[in-house]
Structures are given as C-alpha cells and as structure tokens.
C-alpha cells in the first residue's frame, strides 16, 4: 500500500440538533442529540483512516487551550509534532436539521496560522515518496495557502500525488476563489470535489461534462472525482474513462464530514491500486455508513462484496 498523509484543517466540532424551525432570538430549545468530536476536513478524513486501520500521517496545528490538548490526544503519537499556536483552537458549532442538512457557526481560532513549516515539522518527504497527500481546507489555512506554490514544488520533487479538497470558501465561489482553485488543480493529481464545486469551477451544469472539463486542465493522468451525496459519485479516470456508482439508501443521522470520509475511503482503496470503480464504491459505502450511525461508525471496506456479474 502506498503511503498516505493528510494536511490541513483540524478543529473541534460541537454537533447539536435536530432543530426545526429555527428558534426566535432570545428563546431556548431542547434538542435530542449532542456530540463533541474531532472536526475539520483533515480531521474527519484522519478519523476515518484511523477507524479503518489505515496507516497514515497527519500534519496539523492546534491552539494553546484545552480543546487543542483534546485534539492532540485524539490522534496519539501522530500529533506529537503538531505545532501549538497561542490562539484559541478553532471551534465549529454545527446545528443539524431534520432533513440531514446543517448550519455552522465557526471561530477563526488557530487555523489561519497553519503554515508550510508546520507541514514539514510532521511530514517526511522521503517517507511519503510515491504516496499521496490529501490537502484540505485551503480557504481556512491562510498561511499555508499563501505557500501552496512551494508546497506543490516540494510534493513534485518527492513524487507525492496531491489530492485536493478545498472545502467551501467563507465568502462563496467568487471568481477570485474559482481562479485560485483552478490554479491549485492544475498542479494536483486528484481532484475531490462535490457537485456544486465542480459545476461552478467548470461553468457547466452537467457534472460529468464539468468533470471532463476540469480533467482537461489538470496534469496528464489526473483523476477527477465528483461527490454527489445521495446520488453517489462519478469519476474521470487517468485513462479518460467515466466511472460511476450509486449510494446506498440509508436513514441519515447527520451529513457532517460525509465528503471527508468519502475522501479517506476512496484514497485508501486507491493506495492499494484498486480499480477506480472499487475506489468510488469504497468512498460511497463508508461515507453512507458514517452519516447513518450514532455513535458514528465507518465499517470495514475490506469486507465489501463486489457485485455479481
């Protein structure tokens, strides 16, 4: 199995809900569910790998408070070299709704100060050579994002495939944010996008055509994945061929981190050189299990049954 690493945003998620309708100002409501858990795109993917028994490294930073210490404890030895920032740890409060959607209230906290030096404090380029680095949270990690060109140079010099998932820009998909993402994708070997992201970046409403358009602007042999939630996922492979899978029908508990869990399972299968269709199936199945279980469970992708021909 090729080595794996995830680089980016790790923060604290406090999940509450479901809440409907939205309460009036000055009132109080009681909800049925609360959960304090590791969050952030990088954190969610790492938790999935950890639960699935996948070996990996994770580069992140933390704040100098009790939440920062709690995040470090969640990853044991993997967090030993994480830099500690004087800021408070970034906190996201997620309010879930009966339809499975959610609303976030997030503090800036420590994430903007995550830097390339912080990455190098954890990740050994030679150990990761020939492997894959999942790069997350580009619109939240300000210091590192300004150094993305240097990061891509480093990855290319060590033959490390970058899998990019930017997350959602706080100010939306402005032309500036789209242009920045296109530039990052031009140096990434794997794109892990949701349907809105892919169609917005391509300016094409059809997700398959959008994926093809994005693929044409990435390095030769790149893979473009479009995550479509309950509609499954599609991908344009290194050979230009389309792969598509449907998602299992599940009763949703909450969808927070679903795309991040998909990323983890997809890349774990890809690191074992499984066919693209199997990688998509791993992503959809593990993500579907995660969003439909409480406490959250990820299952075991090695137990997947291939469909009979």
CA distance 300 to 258: 16
**pLDDT confidence of residue 223:** 98
For residue 151, the model assigns a pLDDT of 98
Q: Supply the DSSP string of 206-232, one letter for each residue.
A: SHHHHHHHHHHTS-TT-EEEEE-GGG-
Residue 295 has pLDDT above 50, yes or no: yes
Which of 242, 238, 164, 249 shows the shortest CA–CA distance to 207?
Answer: 242
Query: CA separation (Å) from 229 to 145, 146, 186, 199, 225?
Result: 27, 31, 25, 15, 12
What pLDDT score does 308 carry?
35
Which residues have C-beta within 8 Å of that of residue 294, sequence separation ≥ 6? 33, 35, 253
Which one, of 165, 172, 155, lies nearest residue 120 by Cα? 155
pLDDT tens-digit readout, 262-286 = 999 999 999 999 999 999 999 999 9
- Name the DSSP letter for residue 237: -
User: Dihedral angle at the C-alpha atoms of 301, 208, 214, 218, nearest 10 degrees?
Assistant: 50
pLDDT beyond 80 at 218: yes
pLDDT averaged over every residue in the chain: 94
- Residue 84 contacts residue 70 (beta carbons within 8 Å): no
Q: What is the pLDDT of residues 84-126, one digit of tens each?
A: 999 999 999 989 888 867 788 999 999 999 999 999 999 999 9
pLDDT of residue 252: 87
The predicted pLDDT at position 300 comes to 65
Beta bridge partners of residue 190, listed in sequence order:
163, 223
27 contact partners, CB below 8 Å, separation of at least 6: none
Ranking 13-22, 56-65, 214-223 by mean pLDDT, the lowest is: 13-22
**CA distances from residue 295 to 80, 104, 196, 236, 292 in whole angstroms, order as listed:** 27, 20, 29, 34, 9
Q: Is 152 left (phi over 0), alpha (psi -120 to 50) or beta?
A: alpha
Check residue 2 and give its pLDDT.
97
- pTM of structure: 0.93
pLDDT of residue 102: 79
């Amino acid at each position: 199995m090729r080595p794996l690493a995830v680089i980016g945003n790790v923060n604290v998620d406090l999940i509450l809900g479901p809440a409907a309708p939205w309460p009036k100002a000055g009132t109080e409501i009681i909800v049925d569910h609360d959960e304090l858990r590791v969050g952030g795109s990088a954190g969610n993917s790492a938790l999935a790998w950890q639960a699935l028994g996948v070996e990996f490294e994770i580069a992140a930073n933390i704040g100098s408070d009790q939440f920062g210490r709690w995040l470090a404890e969640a990853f044991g030895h993997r967090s030993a070299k994480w830099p500690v920032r004087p800021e408070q740890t970034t906190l996201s409060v997620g309010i879930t709704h009966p339809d499975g959607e959610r609303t976030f209230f997030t503090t800036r906290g420590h994430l903007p100060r995550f830097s390339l030096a912080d990455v190098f404090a954890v990740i050994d380029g030679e150990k990761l050579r020939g492997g894959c680095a999942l790069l997350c949270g580009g619109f939240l990690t300000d210091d590192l994002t300004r150094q993305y060109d240097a990061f891509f140079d480093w990855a290319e010099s060590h033959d490390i495939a970058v899998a990019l998932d930017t997350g959602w820009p706080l100010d939306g998909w402005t032309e500036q944010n789209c242009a920045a993402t296109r530039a990052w994708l031009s140096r990434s070997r794997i794109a892990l996008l949701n349907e809105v992201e892919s169609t917005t970046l391509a300016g094409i409403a059809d997700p398959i055509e959008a994926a093809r358009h994005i693929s044409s602007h990435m390095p030769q042999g790149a893979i473009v994945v479009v995550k479509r939630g309950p509609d499954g996922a599609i991908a344009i492979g290194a050979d230009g061929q389309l792969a598509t899978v449907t998602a299992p029908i599940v009763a949703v508990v909450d969808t927070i981190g679903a795309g991040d869990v998909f990323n983890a399972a997809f890349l774990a299968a890809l690191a074992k050189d499984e066919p693209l269709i199997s990688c998509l199936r791993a992503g959809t199945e593990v993500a579907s299990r995660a969003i439909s279980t409480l406490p959250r469970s990820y299952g075991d992708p090695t137990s997947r049954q291939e469909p009979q021909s």
